[in-house]
Structure formats: structure tokens, C-alpha cells
Amino acid sequence: MPRLRRWRADLHVHTALSPCADDDMSPWRVVAAAQVAGLDLIAVTDHNSCRQVRAVVEVGKMADLAVLPGMEVQTREDVHLVCLFDTVEQAESWGEEVYEHLPARRNPEQTFGKQLLFDTCDHLMGKEERLLLTACDLGVEQVVARVTALGGVVVPAHVDRQAYGLVYTLGFFPPGLDLLAAEISGREAEDAVRARFPQLGDIRLYAASDAHRLEEIGLHPSLFYLREPTVAELGLAFRGVGGRRVGICPG
Ligand SMILES: [Zn+2]
Ligand SMILES: [Zn+2]
């Protein structure tokens, strides 16, 4: 088994597939920006889609950057949840499931922006025509159940933010959900976030950038102590098992 090591991580990064992200966020540029920022590990988390995950994971392998396949899904309640997986196949399976629960509408590109798809050479392959910047009709509980069944883990995104944050949107942190961690934006200290949101209880918090521009990647990294970057190891770090842990880099 690999030894425990420190991973400087940003587990919430968009690509040019997200309409609200910059069009130059192609796989190689995203990976390069992550390495310039000193990261060892990123997660690709486009809005409601996993169609760019495979290329970024493959580029990450070529460039020696660990990349977790993921998605930022928007639930029926307008809550953003980061979904992380071990394999591209799991993520793509989840992506197909989410597509079945999205409205069958085209992306109004002039309003929301382009949804670009690149290959592993950064060649533009086409566009996602389906509207991604909207809610699917799956609820928070359904997303957690389905992602867990597929072998993934769910982390509520930017819970300190008003827009699409779980606590603001629902008004509480669902006690029945088996959530081990929540993501914060890193704009204020963890203690300040906990003071503002006592609903968070003692859940593990970590920061991520939610980068929509190349220069935002790694802006608010966290340090994960893991044997390898897998969903199982993340779970152990959230629980603090066997020396695994996560800490927010001081701003
Ligand atoms: Zn979000
Ligand atoms: Zn995001």
C-alpha cells in the first residue's frame, strides 16, 4: 500500500464545458494552470455534465497530475453538490443519469456562454448543445443515494455562499444525510464560517476554488493527507482515520 503523503488539492475546478467558465479552460491549460499553482490533485467538476472528464483525466496522467473525475450537480432544490468518483466510467455513468433528469432545452449560448468540448490534444471537438446551467429534477437525497451507489462521494459545494449553497438554500444541514464533509470558498477563515453557520455542526470543512478562470485554479487549496487520491481515502481523511486528514491552507 502506498505511503501516506500530502496532496495539495483543489477539488472544484470547471472547464470550458461549463458555460460560465472561460472558453480557454481546455484540458492541457487546466492541468498546466494547476501545476503552476503547485497542486498535486484536482477534481473536474463541470455543471451537470461529465463530458470533459475523460480528456482531463488522460491529460493529467500524461502530465503527472492526479485528476479526480467529478461533477457539480444542481439539484431540484437549487443546491450545488460536488460529486467525486474514482473512475471516468463511474463519472460518465452518473453524467448519463443526470442528463435524463435535465430539461430538454438548448443552451442559449448568447446568454449563458459556450459549452466547449476538447480532446486530449486541446483540439476543439464541438459543443454541448444541451442546457447545463439549470437544475435537474433530482433532490439532494436522491443525488447522495445514487452517487454513493455508483461508488462516489458527495460534498456540498461552497456552503458559505448564498447562491446555491446548501445551508442558505435549505436553511439547515440535512441531518439524515450521510455527508462527511462540506466545501467552503476559502474567502474567510474556517472558524468564521462555523460561527456564521452553526448548522454545520462538526462536519469536516475544506476549501476549494470553484475556478471558472485559469488563474483561479488553486486559489484556495486544501491539504489532504492520503495514501492515494481515491474516494475511499477521502472518506478516511474526512473521518480522520489512520493519520489521514484534511486541512485548509492558511490564506
Ligand atoms: Zn456552484
Ligand atoms: Zn462550481
Q: 4: CA distance to ligand 2 center in Å? A: 29
Q: 126: CA distance to ligand 2 center in Å? A: 22
Model pTM above 0.85: yes
* pLDDT per residue of the chain (251 residues) written in tens, 0 to 9: 889 999 999 999 999 999 999 999 999 999 999 999 999 999 999 999 999 999 999 999 999 999 999 999 999 999 999 999 999 999 999 999 999 999 999 999 999 999 999 999 999 999 999 999 999 999 999 999 999 999 999 999 999 999 999 999 998 888 888 899 999 998 889 999 999 999 999 999 999 999 999 999 999 999 999 999 999 999 999 999 999 999 988 76
Count the domains in the chain.
Answer: 1
Strand partners, 154: 83
If you ran DSSP here, which 8-state letter would residue 48 be given?
T
pLDDT value at residue 1: 83
Q: 247: CA distance to ligand 2 center in Å? A: 20
Q: 64: CA distance to ligand 2 center in Å? A: 24
Q: 9: CA distance to ligand 2 center in Å? A: 15
Ligand nearest the Cα atom of residue 20? 2
Neighbour count for residue 77 (Cβ, 10 Å)? 14
Ligand nearest the Cα atom of residue 213? 2
Continuous H helices in 100-163? 109-112, 140-149
| Contacts with 109 (C-beta within 8 Å, 6 or more apart), sequence order | 19, 115, 127
* First-residue to last-residue Cα distance in the chain: 33
The half-sphere exposure of 103 on its side-chain side, counting CA atoms within 13 A, is 11
Q: 176: CA distance to ligand 2 center in Å? A: 25
Q: 70: CA distance to ligand 2 center in Å? A: 11
pLDDT value at residue 251: 61
Contact 151, 85 (CB under 8 A): yes
Q: Which domain holds residue 17?
A: 5-248
Q: 1: CA distance to ligand 1 center in Å? A: 35
Secondary structure (3-state) at 237: helix
- CATH code of residue 241: 3.20.20.140
Q: 2: CA distance to ligand 1 center in Å? A: 33
Ligand nearest the Cα atom of residue 46? 2
**Alpha carbons 84 and 86: distance in angstroms, whole number:** 7
Contact 127, 114 (CB under 8 A): yes
Q: 78: CA distance to ligand 1 center in Å? A: 10
- One DSSP character per residue, 9-22 reads EEEEE--TTSTTS-
Query: Which residues, by Cβ under 5 Å, contact ligand 1, an ion?
Result: 80, 157, 164
